[in-house]
Structure 1
Amino acid sequence: MDNRYVVMDLETTGHSPANGDKIIEVGIVVIEGDVISDEFSTFLNPDMSIPPFITNLTGITDRDVEHAPFFQNKASDITALLSSSWLVAHNVTFDSGFLNEELANHGFSCLQNPIIDTVELSRILYPEAPSYKLAQLAAYLDIGHDDPHRALMDAYVTAELFLALKNKLQSLPYETIAHLFELEKGLHSDLYQLLDWQKQKRMFSIHEDKAIEINRGLAIKKQTNVKQEAMHPDMSFGFFLDGIYETGGSMQQHMPHYEKRSGQRDMSETVYDAFQSHHHALIEAQTGTGKTLAYMLPAIYEAISQRKRLVISTYTTQLQSQLLDDEIPLIRHLVPFPFRIALLKGKQHYISLEKFAQSLVMDQGDNYDIILTKAMILIWLTETDTGDIDEIQLPSNGYLFFKKVSSAMEETTHRSSQEFTRSYYQRAHQKAQQADILITNHAFLCTDIVNKYQLLPAYNKAIIDEAHHLEETAAKHYGAALDYVSVQNILNQVGETSDHSWLGQLLKGRPELWDMFAAEYWDDMFIKAKHETDDVFRMLFQYVLDRRQKDKSLSDIGRVQYRFESENERSDKWTAITEMATRLTYYLRDLIHALSPLTQLKTFDSGEDDELNKHMDDIQMVIDKMEHLFLTAETGQEVKWIEIEAYGAKNAVYLYSEPVSMAPLLNNDFFQKKESIILTSATLTMKDSFNFMQQRLGLSTENVLTANIKSPFSYPSQVQLMIPNDFPDIKHGNPDDFVEAVSEAVISMAHITGGRMLVLFTSYDMLKKSYYLLKELLDVHEYMLIAQGISSGSRSRLKKNFQTFEKSILLGTSSFWEGVDIPGDDLSCVMIARLPFQPPNHPVYEAKSNHLKQEGRNPFVELALPDAVIRFKQGFGRLIRSAEDRGIVFVCDARIKKARYGHYFTASIPDVPVTYDSTQTIMEKADEWFRNHD
């Protein structure tokens, strides 16, 4: 058995043997001495019809299995092959579980083989892989996979994958193997013997890998400082652009299919002009412009020629990494001189080696996700240059664990120089200091703007990409957010003196601390603080429920929202809430006072000091936010609100505050302090006007350049905008009738497009109703119906599932209106259920609306309409992502034609043919249009 592995793959009629699903094909590959030595394959007759979905996935039909043997006829052959072997499979619990169920059903003994799951082992050994599905892993590792979802081919690919995993395991340093060995008992795979072999082989050998160094008992990739000097460009900016964009330029040399886009160069020149004149700029660059390259070229030229750092900010950390990994390598080929570039995020993104090393002492409370996360990080540390956790995909609970071992848990005030230089965050900060171009994200940029001390290295010029998100991101940073779970987590991390949390472990076996620490007093205050937290959040929950009973119009986005102004809340219950909030702040202050004497001790190591200071800071943060939300006099300059999960726990409460207007804050704290800020996005205008965006961001009109760069795509031939004139009136009619009409239109259009539809909703309630109605009306064997919030998985997972199945319909809300790129034939129709107006009773909208009214301005024209138009443009933009894309945008909301403001929507998107007619006529036209363009 020492070196015999049997790799198995099964094709089945469904996912659950308990529900009667059966095996229809078995594929087995035998590995002996790291060589494939045997194979076995057979169809099996399931004695039932194969569902169309399975036939579509595997290609196996009822005819294929009609004369195949039954499972009991082949069971002995299968178990004989598995004798004295490891059982290996991709998701082994599925295959072994199915096989054992069938064996038990037919009177055979169940398998007792040790198992190895190549999904689990791949997650550990290839933590940076983009996906752990077999086909994607095969592509990632250059393993041929010509016939997916057929048992023998999948078994062969899994065997090749397993051999690659074994080779990777053999290449790991002793320290990594030793730590994995300690974690093995918490994993699903039986890796004890494999790891023990590797451990014994390395125990007495000398570590010779020059790319690896040992730090705190961890094997990590050796960090090398590559000094790159920037070169002053000996050319004018125009000549610089000529050498890139024009005929014979570097774009043509490095991009064989490059077609010149005049708008791209226009944008580059506008950005440069703004830099030269020390102006700010608003640039709308429509889809297909190539805006990233367009703004990066002048940014690099400006930074190098002026010898001054320039900042690029993206909306998300994913876009930040995408820019660095995908765009910058190309740009280095295009630009004729070297430049230094760095990426910087918040401390919570970087791992602390000190904290992680401490965490590797096996904690009996660790669940599977945490053990898997620790194993993944051990391998990743031997490969990462940055220590940035966004490089890998952790399991969901792994991110909660990572918070405890991130650089955010470190204090840096008393670090030794060696510890300081080994910190991934400090290294990233050092690179940022030396960079010509610094890439960051809106959240970190806004943290820097709001903070009293500087987090980003000094800069005077910046480019804000996806700039339509700047206002909302900044508002969150100027505001406050607090919820029940986070407060209890902060307290639980400190814990009582007698439990296994931080404080109990700190005091354990240290009598000198017990002498100076009033343990009984601490435990009494700690319990009071926890009870008071529970009481105040429960009271807030009930308070909002009571308000909802009186005011049925309260905003509900899956949570009930209630806007409050402390001075106007006159009830006895509100008085009780403020008294409880005051009492809670007293208890929390007592906890800080009780911990304060420990800060004077000289016996703590730096790690213990860090954690003590961090816990005290966290408790103080809760005090500050509670006082701000409930105990500070109102200024009228901010909005405060409460959200509750009406059907959740009785303390599922979330508290928020934000400034009513960001314009003066951004103007004073950002735009007036910087020489030139470029704001760009595909959606910054309404009817070609930047006015509302300038007002919202606080940009004065005197020193702002504006440019609208049109798309190079041929929208009139690529897109049809279709609007039915016979849908029920949702505002004055029965909402269920409208949902029914939307669902019927989805089905009709799905038959025309073969699925490939993205349906966008403004309300999760409408999405949910539509989903369940479609489940009843659609042929679920023909179409794959995927719905945000109902189908399991993240946004990216739902998108991948949508693209995997040929006839898919994806229902989305909120985040699906933007940032979801589905190019090519995968998407042929975007259906918009309603124009995306913000609910008028949303707390932030309500407060901003009142603020505008007090100034004698029109909140619909200046707030509601621009927001809806921008959102609509984002939804519209999901359809066409390349010059080859084609499709229909179907808008169910006739207000786009009927209402006096409707033209703002149609005039804010590219000029496309519009059909406003009956649903039947529209479907006929759509069918004809697709057939004529196939």
Structure 2
Amino acid sequence: MLDDALATTFADDGPLARSVSGYRPRQAQLALAQAIEQAVHDRSVLIAEAGTGTGKTWAYLVPAFLSGAKVLVSTGTRTLQDQLYRRDLPRLREALALPVAAALLKGRSNYVCHYHLERLQDDDRALKSRQEVAQLRHIQVFASQSQSGDKAELTQVPDNADIWNRVVSTRDNCLGQTCPHLKSCFVYKARRQAQEADVIVVNHALFMADLALRDEGITDLLPEVQLVVFDEAHQLPDIATRFLGSSVSSNQLLELARQVEAVGLAQAREATDWPQWHVKIQQATRELRLRVDPVDRLPAKRATYESMPSAESVHEGLTQLHEVLAACNERLAVVAEKHPDLQTVHRICTDLAARLFQWARAAANAGSAQEPITTPLVRWVETSPQHFRLHSAPLSVAQLFSRFRRPDQSWVFTSATLSVNGDFSYFQRQLGLYDAATERWESPFDYATQGMLLVPSSLPLPNSPAFTEQFVQQLVPLIEASPGGVLVLCTTLRAVDRITELLKEAFDERGIDRLLMQQGVGSRRGLLERFQASKNAVLVGSASFWEGIDVPGEALTLVAIDKLPFAPPDDPVLEARLNACREEGGNPFMEYQLPEAAVALKQGAGRLIRSESDWGVLMVADRRLVDKPYGKLLWRGLPPFARTRDPEQVLVFMAKQHCAEIN
């Protein structure tokens, strides 16, 4: 019966066609919706790869609406989360005329906290500039008028402004039930709405934060649901690794030292010598920074604990710092009940001491008390000129992640990039989804006509000193011939700098009048808005620009990738996983590095063709894509563009496409 309802909804004379401008039926979209409907009925797990243009959003929202189940939709980013909640859900609700209640839920750092805003207002020394004075006024007015308290709605204060850190709460400094502003709390209001809603929209970071908290016995963040849909699911393994691990920074420790003194003097002055405890924590933290100093001299300024040049000395420093925190915590425990602020500092000190102890022991029980599960951890240190950060992450998140699904719950994972040439085993292995059903639908686009893949035969291998200069030399004529915008995707930030520099020189020499933009010079959002508005700009970017960019039409007609996106071997988690694979007799390159590169390459290539009328050229300058045996696994996973190794054929293709578009 529901299957008939799906067919009717997606038909060319159905409610979507009548309500959504430009809607056209797509067989793959209906097939994906039917597969999701089946997963809901069977209470099973579905991994669904659907090519660009399939219409994944409608395909999962329609069966979710019609199922009557309580649904959680998790997206890759807050931007996609807002788009889904503010645009897609209301349009579908109107088209289907269904009374579906929706809620948007973000992490607590996205909501103004009345208590911390009030404290900032009362602290004359807390504001650092006139700009912050003006920003505080905007936030005050916003907090008094807003229904949601979501800082994304306050456009006058940039999302990355430092003042936000002082007017939002964290799990550590939230007063909870003792807060005098509990009734008006934006976080609590958002969570209540989520409890009452039929569809809740979150992002992967919040979903993983919820799983991490459930592991600690805290279950009040996300409501229980019957269906979870993970959009842009290819991002989940990395996000899961980050959130199922932990970190401690010297900034956190120094801030704790400051809070111990300030709160102790304000609320329990006679209990102990609080300034002295400030000094002790500060000194022990700075002593540990000196002990990790040899890491500064390493190329990436990071090292695993096992490979650290000064591991024994660092361990001594950790022990000393932990002893100081434990002793300070004993003093805090005695007075914690006197005031909520003392309780908060006590809680923060307890948490940081526990994380330091866990890091020092290199062991963690990642399971609950009922289901103890121990997983190997990867530990590493990162340094900056004055500070350090201690990280730990699970070697594998498969067992931890998969066990959180309840037997009566359906999980759907969807993205355009979940398989490696049609094989889903790498994604399944990462998240422990061995029993999941897998389905795949090709994009409806005519890639062979709309696009061309160029892998120049004359370029040297990427490890050649001359590679970058020759890459830019071959790229510049294509930029000149491209009528639309150009996106240059690099595998390192160093390459972004060098390629931008070489393009500037070439533009000056050849009189090329195009806007040239570089990642890091302005916000990502600002760069993309200018890029799209310009219609023929050149944007050079690295990791964050390989996905999440949707620029249809002639605003983007050339995507150039400098090298195959193999993850850097000095990444601590990857390094540990490769070593573990090698020790177990596996092939690290084929089992980890190649699948990762395949997914990243598909994401980069996916920026090019975004609609049925788009056209463009994908240039991959790395000849290993064709010359190496493993290259076949990579290019077969790309859209089926026409292929060439001759730049002259690309110029002919561009001229032909541009003429056709003009006529």
* Partner of residue 599 from structure 1, selected from 336, 347, 363: 336
Q: Does 1:810 align with 2:539?
A: yes
Contact 2:535 2:554 in 1 (8 A): no
Pair 259,342 (structure 1): closer, same or farther in 2 beyond 3 Å = same
Deviation at 1:896, TM superposition (A): 1.0
Q: Secondary structure at the match of 1:868?
A: helix
Equivalent-residue separation in structure 1 for 2:439 and 2:527 (angstroms): 36
Deviates more, 1:372-381 or 1:864-873: 372-381
Q: 2:396 maps to which residue?
A: 661
* Partner of residue 345 from structure 2, selected from 615, 639, 643: 615
Pair 903,781 (structure 1): closer, same or farther in 2 beyond 3 Å = closer
Contact 2:264 2:274 in 1 (8 A): no
Equivalent-residue separation in structure 2 for 1:726 and 1:824 (angstroms): 30
Deviation at 1:907, TM superposition (A): 1.4
Equivalent-residue separation in structure 1 for 2:661 and 2:21 (angstroms): 27
Equivalent-residue separation in structure 2 for 1:429 and 1:806 (angstroms): 42
Q: 1:625 maps to which residue?
A: 355
Pair 238,925 (structure 1): closer, same or farther in 2 beyond 3 Å = closer
Q: Secondary structure at the match of 2:109?
A: helix
Alpha-carbon displacement from aligned partner over 1:338-362 (angstroms, at most 9, x marks no partner): 1121122222222222332332236
Q: Does 1:379 align with 2:141?
A: yes
Pair 852,285 (structure 1): closer, same or farther in 2 beyond 3 Å = same
Q: 1:695 maps to which residue?
A: 429
Contact 1:271 1:281 in 2 (8 A): yes
Equivalent-residue separation in structure 2 for 1:398 and 1:598 (angstroms): 36
Q: Does 1:481 align with 2:247?
A: yes
Equivalent-residue separation in structure 1 for 2:159 and 2:427 (angstroms): 39
Contact 2:363 2:376 in 1 (8 A): no
Q: Secondary structure at the match of 1:666?
A: helix
Equivalent-residue separation in structure 1 for 2:624 and 2:114 (angstroms): 57
Q: 2:95 maps to which residue?
A: 334
Alpha-carbon displacement from aligned partner over 1:803-832 (angstroms, at most 9, x marks no partner): 333542111001000012222211110001
* Partner of residue 354 from structure 1, selected from 115, 123, 127: 115
Given residue 175 of structure 2, which amino acid in structure 1 is its aligned partner? Answer: E
Deviation at 1:718, TM superposition (A): 1.2
Given residue 317 of structure 1, which amino acid in structure 2 is its aligned partner? Answer: R
Residue segments in structure 1 that go unaligned for 5+ positions in a row: 1-235, 508-512, 549-553
Given residue 321 of structure 2, which amino acid in structure 1 is its aligned partner? Answer: L
Q: Does 1:537 align with 2:289?
A: yes
Equivalent-residue separation in structure 1 for 2:154 and 2:315 (angstroms): 44
Equivalent-residue separation in structure 2 for 1:824 and 1:616 (angstroms): 56
Pair 427,856 (structure 1): closer, same or farther in 2 beyond 3 Å = same
Under a length normalisation based on structure 2, what TM-score does the superposition of the two structures give? 0.92
Q: 2:222 maps to which residue?
A: 456
Given residue 887 of structure 1, which amino acid in structure 2 is its aligned partner? Answer: G
Q: 1:472 maps to which residue?
A: 238
Q: 1:253 maps to which residue?
A: 18
Pair 632,689 (structure 1): closer, same or farther in 2 beyond 3 Å = closer
* Partner of residue 722 from structure 1, selected from 454, 463, 476: 454
Equivalent-residue separation in structure 2 for 1:808 and 1:658 (angstroms): 40
Equivalent-residue separation in structure 2 for 1:291 and 1:658 (angstroms): 32
Q: 1:131 maps to which residue?
A: none
Pair 448,577 (structure 1): closer, same or farther in 2 beyond 3 Å = same
Q: 1:290 maps to which residue?
A: 55
Structural mapping, 1:800-839, within 5 Å: 800-839=529-568
Instruction: Calculate the aligned-residue CA RMSD, in Å.
Output: 2.3
Q: 2:368 maps to which residue?
A: none
Structural mapping, 1:99-118, within 5 Å: none
Q: 2:369 maps to which residue?
A: none
Residue segments in structure 2 that go unaligned for 5+ positions in a row: 365-373
Deviation at 1:575, TM superposition (A): 2.1
Deviation at 1:330, TM superposition (A): 0.5
Q: Does 1:583 align with 2:347?
A: no
Q: 2:413 maps to which residue?
A: 679
Q: Does 1:861 align with 2:590?
A: yes
Contact 1:526 1:591 in 2 (8 A): no
Q: Does 1:524 align with 2:247?
A: no
Under a length normalisation based on structure 1, what TM-score does the superposition of the two structures give? 0.66
Contact 1:407 1:425 in 2 (8 A): no
Structural mapping, 1:8-157, within 5 Å: none
Alpha-carbon displacement from aligned partner over 1:146-166 (angstroms, at most 9, x marks no partner): xxxxxxxxxxxxxxxxxxxxx
* Partner of residue 186 from structure 2, selected from 424, 442, 446: 424
Given residue 716 of structure 1, which amino acid in structure 2 is its aligned partner? Answer: A
Deviation at 1:383, TM superposition (A): 4.0
Contact 1:755 1:783 in 2 (8 A): no
Deviation at 1:629, TM superposition (A): 2.0
Q: 2:86 maps to which residue?
A: 325
Given residue 620 of structure 1, which amino acid in structure 2 is its aligned partner? Answer: T
Identity of aligned residues (%): 27
Q: Secondary structure at the match of 2:330?
A: helix
Deviation at 1:763, TM superposition (A): 1.4
Pair 846,270 (structure 1): closer, same or farther in 2 beyond 3 Å = same
Q: 1:103 maps to which residue?
A: none
Equivalent-residue separation in structure 1 for 2:556 and 2:231 (angstroms): 25
Q: 1:310 maps to which residue?
A: 71
Q: Does 1:444 align with 2:206?
A: yes
* Partner of residue 563 from structure 1, selected from 301, 304, 307: 304
Alpha-carbon displacement from aligned partner over 1:643-691 (angstroms, at most 9, x marks no partner): 234xxx2x332321111111121222x2465632100111101111212
Contact 1:370 1:397 in 2 (8 A): no
Deviation at 1:926, TM superposition (A): 4.2
Equivalent-residue separation in structure 2 for 1:238 and 1:807 (angstroms): 45
Q: 2:514 maps to which residue?
A: 783
Q: Does 1:240 align with 2:1?
A: no
Pair 325,776 (structure 1): closer, same or farther in 2 beyond 3 Å = same
Pair 858,632 (structure 1): closer, same or farther in 2 beyond 3 Å = closer
Q: Does 1:491 align with 2:223?
A: no
Deviation at 1:844, TM superposition (A): 1.4
Equivalent-residue separation in structure 2 for 1:742 and 1:632 (angstroms): 44
Given residue 630 of structure 1, which amino acid in structure 2 is its aligned partner? Answer: A
Q: Greater relative contact order: 1 or 2 (C-alpha under 8 angstroms, separation 6 or more)?
A: 2
Deviation at 1:910, TM superposition (A): 2.2
Given residue 696 of structure 1, which amino acid in structure 2 is its aligned partner? Answer: Q
Q: Secondary structure at the match of 2:176?
A: coil
Equivalent-residue separation in structure 1 for 2:260 and 2:475 (angstroms): 53
Equivalent-residue separation in structure 2 for 1:278 and 1:538 (angstroms): 54
Deviation at 1:863, TM superposition (A): 0.7
Number of equivalences: 644
Contact 2:305 2:311 in 1 (8 A): no
